[in-house]
Structures are given as structure tokens and as C-alpha cells.
Amino acid sequence: MAVKKSVKTAVTGKEVEKKKSVAKSIKKFAAKKPAVSNPEPKKQEQVKETVTNSNSYVLIDHPCEKENITSSEYVIRIGASMDGYVEISFNDAEWEPCRFASGYWWFDWKYYKPGNVKISARLVSNEGQILKLSDVRKCKVI
């Protein structure tokens, strides 16, 4: 009986560690303030893509390529595999966290300036490794 109890404790310990890891990553990204999009670009850090799962993907659904955006607010929709979380960048500026709902990742984009915009998204593992980068999506804010 002592053997069964120690095995159960070991499994429970792993589950607790996994829950702590997930909770820590959620707190980390929930604490970030929403940033003004389309600001003066800060240089992105160069990160090598680390592919841990060949089935991982991330792609920007909306806006469409070369779409003209005329509203004062726009919700960007990103499709991605469920390997971690998604971040978005405008014109090679700082990466911003996206929110997950209804099977997609979303970014509520507002306070942007008129002009041409390059949008990128990336899929990041819960451990902080870059899993996939999307193709760059170009659009124009009018």
C-alpha cells in the first residue's frame, strides 16, 4: 500500500506543478496593460523559430491582405493551434497579448494612426518558446 500512495503523490505533485505553471503564465499576460497599437516602432528582438510540433500553426484571418480599415476600432482575428498562446505585433513593434474566445485568438485594435500597417502574429508555448510565426499581413488605415 505504501507504494501506491507514493505513486499517487508523485502524480498529484506533477499535476500541481502543471497547474502552477499555467496559472503563472495567465497572471503574467493578464497583468499587461493594453498598449496603443501602431506606435513608434520599437525594434523587435530577433528570436529563432523553435518548432516543437510540426502541426502547430498561426495565421491572421482578419484583416484581409491589403484591406482598407476605415473604422475607429477593429477586432483582429487569428487562428492558431492550441499549443500555447498568441501575441501580435504592428510594424515590427513590441509584441502584445491576444485573448482567446470562441476558438480564435482576438486583438481589440484601437487608437491607431492612418497609414500602411504590417501585422504579425506568433504562437508561443507556455514556457515562452516561439513555436510559429505568421506571414506578415499588410493593410491600410484610412
Residues 81-94 pLDDT 10s: 998 999 999 999 99
Structural domain boundaries of the chain? 1-31, 36-141
> Considering only 20-29, 64-73, 96-105, which range has the smallest mean pLDDT?
20-29
Judged against a pLDDT cut of 60, whether residue 121 lies above it is answered with yes
Question: What average pLDDT does the segment 120-128 reach?
Answer: 95
Task: Tell me what pLDDT residue 53 has.
Answer: 60
Give me the pLDDT at residue 48, please.
47
| pLDDT tens per residue across span 33-58 | 444 444 444 444 444 445 556 789 99
pLDDT at 99 over 80: yes
Taking a C-beta distance cutoff of 8 angstroms, is the pair 95, 44 a contact? yes
pLDDT of the residue at 52: 53
pLDDT over threshold 70, residue 32 = no
Question: What per-residue confidence (pLDDT) applies to 50?
Answer: 54
pLDDT of residue 8: 40
In 10 A of CB 98, how many CB atoms? 22
Return the amino acid letter for 117: V
Domain 36-141 falls in which CATH fold?
Immunoglobulin-like (2.60.40)
| 3-class SS letters over the chain | CHHHHHHHHHHHHHHHHHHHHHHHHHHHHHCCCCCCCCCCCCCCCCCCCCCCCCCCCEEEEECCCCEEECCCEEEEEEEECCCEEEEEEECCCCCEECEEECCEEEEEEECCCCEEEEEEEEEEECCCCEEEECCCEEEEEC
User: Does 15 have pLDDT greater than 60?
Assistant: no
pTM above 0.85, yes or no: no
